[in-house]
Amino acid sequence: MTITVRTMATAAALALTGLAVPAAAQEYEAGRVVMAVDQTDLAAIVTSLGHKVRELGKGEDTFVAAETEDGIVYLLFGTACGVNGAKGCQGVMMQSRFDLPQGTTLATLAKTNEAQAAISVTADFEGKALVFTRYHVLDFGVTMANIRENVNVLLAVVDDAYPMAAGKE
């Protein structure tokens, strides 16, 4: 197994922030088929995209908070973890959250959800948050590249969906 300079740099950066993950576990293998993922798999997807890992879940919490080069913060949550004897999580919830824009209404949310079927857009009016979500089921196996591409879909659609959800279109 070859450990790249990028992998070592990522592991070193995580170690400095107290979020150390073994360097070998951080390697992204596009063709690897998975039926469940763990936190190191989620972190590997984030780093393969060239994004910054901002936070990792602790203990039993399987999540990664990440940031794109454009400053978009997103979360990858492992779901259906340990279900039916599976080691790891059989689903991945992908979310990007923003402060709730003043122009967001139930009508703008409905319009955005109709126009952007690849994601679900919701608002927490009390908590003042606008949330973009994509859910990925791993049943029967998917490649790591497929999960990675689903993250790309979320991020690409957020660019188009945000103005509509914010009532700017």
For the question of whether the overall pTM of this predicted structure is more than 0.85, the answer is no
Handedness of CA 131, 76, 150, 158 (dihedral sign): positive
Tokens encoding 23: 């360097």
Mean pLDDT estimate for the chain: 85
Q: Give the residue among 123, 127, 122, 117 at the shortest CA–CA distance from 160.
A: 117
pLDDT band (50, 70, 90) for residue 26: low
- What gap in Å lies between CA 42 and CA 44, rounded to an integer? 5
CB under 8 Å to 76, separation ≥6 — which residues? 42, 45, 46, 63, 64, 66, 92, 93, 94, 151
- List the one residue out of 98, 109, 101, 108 whose CA is nearest residue 75: 98
- The top-level CATH class assigned to 30-165 is alpha beta
pLDDT the model gives residue 97: 95
Domain ranges of the chain: 30-165
- pLDDT tens-digit profile of 74-112? 999 999 998 888 889 999 999 999 999 999 999 999 999
